[in-house]
Amino acid sequence: MDKLQVKNISKSFANHKALDAISLNIPENSVFGLLGPNGAGKTTLIRIINLITIPDGGEVLLNGKPLKEPDVLRIGYLPEERGLYKKMKVGEQALYLSRLKGLSKSDALKRLKYWFEKFEIESWWEKKVEDLSKGMQQKVQFIVTVIHQPELLIFDEPFSGFDPINVNIIKDEILNLRKNGATIVFSTHNMASVEELCDNIALINNGKAILAGEISEIKERFKTNTYSVTYRGGTSVVLPQNSFEIINEKFADNNTVTAEVKILNGSTSNSLLKELIEQTEVLAFNEILPSVNQIFLQAVSGQKG
């Protein structure tokens, strides 16, 4: 079942068409990566989903029903441009923002205590926001985004400002939120995080969704029939040139060779393996699938997709 459906959403600003009849289906209880180059329309779409911006056409459905103002309390949104009040104390502000999400004071304090202890930031409660580093402020904003336990979470560049240790902490929390039933949409330029976290992705370019689906299925579509082979011996293998192309070879000190081999003209991985076994001892044999970053660059450049 789809948690969120974007149907033919269009939005223009003056003479610029930010979104051009874009449609997306975001499965329930998934981590969905919203990708695209700068200016592609991602933030405009996110703002429409949060009812901050009104589209020129199309509709957004939450749980199969048109999104309405009361639904905003079922969404948690962490914008790329952070919005904490610099002069307020951290605890005072966290409590205030939690109350805006519909929590009672007692519930808000109970949940904030849980999160502040979990992130080991209890000592920040009486500090002013302006006294915190960007990463520290980011932790506070993350907490107030998830505090009301929304069923849909939207993170725009959630890892910005974090060191590698805190990036991993936030990644773990995102996976925990999904485990507990949330659907998560996040927009990022960190393709390694997309590989690690996402079940599905959509790639937006020039206001259109040019690629969407499960990561595993998209990788299958973009694969080049290339294999990584490691075998024993200090010399190259000889393969039929009309069937195979050796793209790259690396000779190691331990008397092994690792090569990338592209299969041509309808040949198969079995026939490649047969050729290799007849000449050498095969130590490893794996298909090379493209990374999300490679797919991103290829699709945006128009080479495929």
- Classify the phi-psi angles of 6: left when phi > 0, otherwise alpha if psi is within -120 to 50, otherwise beta: beta
Q: Identify whether residues 80 and 101 lie together within a single domain.
A: yes
What is the mean pLDDT for each group of 10 consecutive residues in the chain (305 residues)?
Answer: 91 90 94 89 92 93 93 90 84 93 94 93 91 87 94 91 87 93 90 89 90 92 93 85 91 88 92 92 93 89 57
| Within-domain flag for 185 | yes
| 4 three-class SS | strand
Answer for the pair 245, 261: CB distance below 8 angstroms, yes or no: yes
| Within-domain flag for 125 | yes
Q: Identify whether residues 159 and 241 lie together within a single domain.
A: no
Q: Which domain holds residue 255?
A: 224-288
Would you state the pLDDT for residue 79? Answer: 87
Q: Identify whether residues 255 and 200 lie together within a single domain.
A: no
| Within-domain flag for 257 | yes
Would you state the pLDDT for residue 23? Answer: 94
Would you state the pLDDT for residue 268? Answer: 93
| Within-domain flag for 189 | yes
Q: Identify whether residues 235 and 154 lie together within a single domain.
A: no
Backbone angles phi, psi at 268, to 5 degrees: -125, 165
Q: Identify whether residues 151 and 205 lie together within a single domain.
A: yes
Which CATH number is 201's domain given?
3.40.50.300
Q: Identify whether residues 205 and 160 lie together within a single domain.
A: yes
CA distance 239 to 191: 35
Which CATH number is 255's domain given?
3.30.70
Q: Identify whether residues 196 and 62 lie together within a single domain.
A: yes
Would you state the pLDDT for residue 303? Answer: 41
Q: Identify whether residues 170 and 103 lie together within a single domain.
A: yes
pTM value is: 0.86
Q: Identify whether residues 205 and 147 lie together within a single domain.
A: yes
| Within-domain flag for 304 | no
Would you state the pLDDT for residue 233? Answer: 79
> Of 220, 246, 270, which residue sits at a domain end?
220
- Classify the phi-psi angles of 17: left when phi > 0, otherwise alpha if psi is within -120 to 50, otherwise beta: beta
* Alpha helix (H) residue ranges in the chain: 42-49, 90-100, 105-118, 134-146, 164-179, 191-197, 215-222, 269-279, 292-300
Q: Identify whether residues 130 and 76 lie together within a single domain.
A: yes
Q: How many domains does the chain have?
A: 2
> Of 169, 191, 220, which residue sits at a domain end?
220
DSSP character for 246? E
